Amino acid sequence: MHPIFSTVLKRIALGFVSLLFVSVIIFGSIEFLPGDFTENVLGQSATPESVKKFRAELGLDKPFHVRYVNWLTAAVQGDLGTSFAGRKVGALGSGGNTSRTVVSMIAPKLKNTLFLASMTAVIAIPLALFLGISAALYRNSIYDRIVNATTLTTISLPEFFVAYILIIVLCGYFPIFVSLSNVTDSTPFGQRIYLTILPAITLTLVTVAHMMRMTRAAIINLLSSPYIEMAELKGLSRTTIIVRHALPNAWAPIVNIIAFNLAYLIVGVVVVEVVFSYPGAGKIMVDSVMRRDIAVVQGCALIFAIAYISLNLFADIISIVTNPKLLYPK
């Protein structure tokens, strides 16, 4: 078998092992949440008998390993279970299951999160590449120092602080945008972009610094290579050397950091979605934690883990394909 294929298969196998390990952590960590869902739902009618009956109805009376195997088996088949919210509990703790499936609850929210992540990526990736290449082109100049100082400032500030500053400036002093991003399935595309632009700008300011600095560092690191010196001796311009010779060989680390930030845009938007009341997967996860809706929390966490591991696995494979040296590590 070709070394690339064998290495890629090994990385995919490691990805599945990582996902299995993460699924154990996700399912197990829910057990340590304070309080008890059945007692919260039953309220004043939470007698030992009614709690026991309701836990049996939800399947929470089974051992941990049995519930985990059942949950994982169903998740592999695309069934993340049924939301605990919406259950109508009778006087004895039994009631009809009128709640929705976890997939039907998360799917539209995940669609909104992917739209926000895509919109941010469209802005952040070209901006980061442009700033990184131009900073490397004019290394140690005033422009380079300004770009580095600005990106270091934005990366040092927490997301919620950046979000609130943007709300104060762009919604208060200069009312250009709105602070609440209440998008629905019926929202027109243009209106959806308008409502999503402020959260996208917030995420852009937070993520562009990583990609810009990695692009700059990767290109500068290659500028001392012998083939770059040969290109300079041939009289090629600085721009041609960077764009045609340095950049193609710097794709491996750049793709890595881009994929890492794309994964962050999907799994790390919880704070931004809560601040702007954006109806995404992160916000529904926070709301479900407050309601102790265990099934939805587990479903969101598993989807986030799959997205994060998959994108990092994709970056790993791209790095191997673009850099054959990784096939034979020392």
Task: Report the CATH number that the domain containing residue 163 is assigned in CATH.
Answer: 1.10.3720.10
Residues of the chain with pLDDT under 50: 90-95
Distance between CA 73 and CA 76 in Å, rounded?
Answer: 5
Tell me how far CA of residue 222 lies from CA of 21, 215, 256, in angstroms: 38, 11, 17
Distance between CA 100 and CA 80 in Å, rounded?
Answer: 11
Coil, helix or strand for 138? coil
95: in domain: no
- Residues in Cβ contact with 321 at an 8 Å cutoff, skipping those fewer than 6 apart: 4
* Exposed e or buried b per residue across 34-52, where buried means at least 16 C-beta atoms within 10 angstroms of its C-beta: eeebbeebbeeebeeebbe
Distance between CA 30 and CA 15 in Å, rounded?
Answer: 23
Asked if residues 39 and 51 have their Cβ atoms less than 8 Å apart, the reply is yes
Distance between CA 185 and CA 16 in Å, rounded?
Answer: 33
277: in domain: yes
129: in domain: yes
83: in domain: no
87: in domain: no
Asked if residues 71 and 27 have their Cβ atoms less than 8 Å apart, the reply is yes
pLDDT at 178: 85
Distance between CA 84 and CA 293 in Å, rounded?
Answer: 5
pLDDT at 251: 75
Give the number of domains in the chain. Answer: 1
pLDDT at 321: 73
pLDDT at 92: 41
pLDDT at 1: 62
For 151, the domain range is 102-312
pLDDT at 142: 92
Asked if residues 270 and 286 have their Cβ atoms less than 8 Å apart, the reply is yes
| Helical packing angle, 189-222 and 102-137, nearest 10° | 40
Q: ∠113-114-120 over CA atoms, to 5°?
A: 90
Token match 């710097």: residue? 250
Token match 């509990």: residue? 89
Predicted TM-score (pTM) of this structure:
0.81
- Residues in Cβ contact with 54 at an 8 Å cutoff, skipping those fewer than 6 apart: 38, 41, 42, 89, 93, 94
244: in domain: yes
Token match 């309080």: residue? 35
19: in domain: no
pLDDT at 43: 66
| Helical packing angle, 159-167 and 189-222, nearest 10° | 130
pLDDT at 11: 81
248: in domain: yes
